[in-house]
Amino acid sequence: MVTKKMTINIPTGLEARPVAILVQVASQYDSSIYIECEEKKVNAKSIMGMMSLGLPAGEEIIVSANGKDEEAAIQNIEKYLSSESQQ
């Protein structure tokens, strides 16, 4: 299992469109991927779960991945969250 603290640098935070893209990124991997913020922990592959977090820009989160491609999953999620322009 890999766990990493990350900061959301997407200017709009994780609202509808960025959440949908993040779920697509996470869904490319076989690993289980979870995002934690404060007391909440949600599956990064669940669009409804991710929307329930309502994460603003600048928020610190903890991303954990567990599985055969966990390293690649963490790297690509961090790459997406640190991008200052949306893909």
- For residue range 2-18, list pLDDT tens digits in order: 999 999 999 999 999 99
Say if 61 falls within a structural domain.
yes
For residue 57 the two structure tokens come to 């820009």
- The values of phi and psi at residue 12, to 5°, are -90, 0
Count structural domains, the chain: 1
- For residue range 47-65, list pLDDT tens digits in order: 999 999 999 999 999 999 9
What is the Cα–Cα distance from 82 to 8, expressed in whole angstroms? 6
The CATH number that applies at residue 62 is 3.30.1340.10
Q: What are the helix (H) ranges across the chain?
A: 16-27, 47-53, 70-81
- Determine contact, residues 8/61, Cβ cutoff 8 Å: yes
